[in-house]
A and B are shown apart, each in its own frame.
Chain A
Amino acid sequence: MNNRVKFAVGLLLLIVVITGHHLPMIIALISSVVVGLTFERRVFRKIGKPAFWIFTIFVTLLAGSLLGEDSFKWYGIPISKEGIIAGLFMNIRAFTIVFSTVLIATSLSKERMLRYTQKFGLEQVNQAYESAVDTLPLVKDAWWEAQLEESGSILKKIARLMIKLMDYAEGEKIRRVKIFGITGCQGSGKSTSIQIIADKFSNDGMRVGGFYQNKVAGENEKTTTFDLIHFSTKKSVRLAEGEGRRGFKFDQKAFEIASEWLTEDAKSSDILLVDELGILESKGKGHANALIQVIRKNPEIVIVATFRKDRLKTLASRFLLSPDHTFDHDKKGYLKDSFVDQIRAELESKDIS
């Protein structure tokens, strides 16, 4: 049955049933069932649910108990024959209206709607529909950017998101959050990978900023100190010293120096490397504030950071790290070229824009 016929049949059934006369309603119901069984099984979608039938019985009994006169008792409930008949016809009317509206709705295909909008001179509405569908995945990226850029309340973040979308409509691009993560258990090679990345991009002529951690083994081959080494100047600062069973003692001055490195490098580097984000950063301390400030002020910069595996979930949430942008040493072994290529592609797309 073509869509025009379906539409016409649906409309006819609808008109017949709303006249309210009993015989036409019965004929309309039977016709709906026949048309549905023959041409459009979707009309039976709603009535296939148990809730529909429970409601039907409920309406019939309700009408039976509230409408009509001369009631009799049925399990203690006063019911009238007139009311039951009225209830049954109410349901017949509802069934038929459901069938006919489904017929009408299924006859209005997407293509038909688009043709109508074109016919009425609303071509731009069609384009708007298509644009809206294409924009759906960008909304998520825009929201991530808004969260990073705006430190205030949720309402401010939503306002920031709306401005981003408005700018996008006026021709500006929505940039994806460009944080790449390297994770793995202790000793898996995160710091080594970040140095490899630094070397690769330096050799490609990129300006590399940030720092990596150097672990210095102490007595009995156990790690006792961590130094931060600045990529561009090779300067080093003691970050933490081991205190045996008491853990590590961190030097706050080192974080301040690292923060200065990040802030300066963000202005002049193509890529910023940060090693490592761990327990302190998961609590908003350590390098966390400095990094977030850098991201807010330099939304175009590409960042590669190492993330401690045992804090990955919290850190990924705090820094909006996507699984698509994460390399896990435990799962994938040594640093893969595909991950480096992913970073390179992001840098090149920044250059093009």
Chain B
Amino acid sequence: MSKKSKVEKSSNQTVMWKQAAVFGALWGVIEITIGSFLHATRLPSGIFLASTGIALLTATQMLTGKPWMAFRVALVCAGVRALTPHGLMLGPMASILLQGLFVSAAWILFRNSILTGIAAGTAATISTQLQSFVVKLFAYGVELLEIYLQLLGKAESFFRLEQGQGWIVIIFYFAFVASVGILGGIIGHRIGWLALQMISERSKAGATSE
């Protein structure tokens, strides 16, 4: 590799990490403001924060057009969270990294199509619920799974549902969770598309003035 291209490569890396830094900071600001509000109102913050994160990451990925940019942004945001006075909070950090991973992977598959937002949004919000379940299972052991199944059975008999219909309710719940993520993905795609249009107009205006 020639010296010039090494320098160029290093310079591109620097710009990419700087971009990751600024968008990671933006995400941090959003997490702090919206997150505090949701916690204060005792609303389920996990899926809404995940949806917001997906919106931002989808827009960022589309705007920068560089592979794994969303994961870089997530890495920075997770790192910034670790620097807060609360210290390391592994749960939220894992969630943030997963969101970055999902958006990066979806963009590699679908590029700037709306399917990127839809796929990543679905995966991210469902994973927050599964993460919560997995963490509880890890903390309390496999007996918890037995408790959940027993509760499901009791709920079926209480609501006079047939055996097995309780799972349908769970599926509906996850469908609702996925829809929140899909909404975030669609909004992120729209923002990314608008930003790309603005950049295109700016380039045309710049070319015209020259």
Contact = CB atoms under 8 A, between A and B. Distances in A.
A340 interface: no
Interface in A97-137: 97-98, 101, 105-106, 108, 110, 113, 124-125, 127-129, 131-133, 135-136
B18 A128 contact: yes
Interface stretch (B9-17, B108-116, B126-134, B167-175): B9-17
B7 interface: no
B34 interface: no
B22 A166 contact: yes
Given A93-B140, A105-B87, A135 B60 contact: no
Given A124-B13, A166-B63, A156 B194 contact: yes
A97 B146 contact: no
A161 B29 CA distance: 13
B141 A93 contact: yes
Contacts of B18: 128, 131, 169-170
Nearest to B88: A105
Nearest to A45: B86
A139 interface: yes
Secondary structure at the A interface, as helix, strand, loop or mixed, is helix
Interface residues of A, number: 47
A159 interface: yes
Contact of A110 (B21, B83, B140): B83
B140 to A, nearest CB: 5
A66 B64 CA distance: 53
B161 interface: no
A60 to B, nearest CB: 11
B107 interface: no
B140 A94 contact: yes
Contacts of A106: 87-88
Contact of A139 (B25, B72, B87, B195): B25
B76 A166 contact: no
Nearest to B202: A163
A39 interface: no
A129 B143 CA distance: 41
Most buried by A among B76, B82, B87, B194: B194
B139 interface: yes
Contacts of B26: 139, 161-162, 165
Most buried by B among A132, A160, A162, A169: A132
A86 interface: yes
Contacts of B83: 110, 129, 133
Given A66-B150, A125-B76, A166-B63, A135 B25 contact: yes
Contact of A108 (B64, B76, B88, B198): B88
B59 A159 contact: yes
B20 interface: yes
A62 interface: yes
A1 B76 CA distance: 30
Given A128-B17, A135-B22, A67 B147 contact: yes
Interface of A: 18, 20, 59, 62-63, 66-67, 86, 89-91, 93-94, 97-98, 101, 105-106, 108, 110, 113, 124-125, 127-129, 131-133, 135-136, 138-140, 155-156, 158-163, 165-166, 168-170
Given A66-B154, A110-B82, A125-B79, 12 more contacts: A18-B138, A90-B140, A94-B139, A124-B17, A127-B21, A128-B20, A136-B29, A139-B29, A155-B194, A159-B192, A160-B198, A166-B63
Closest 8 CB pairs of A and B: A131-B21, A135-B25, A159-B195, A159-B194, A169-B18, A66-B150, A128-B21, A169-B19
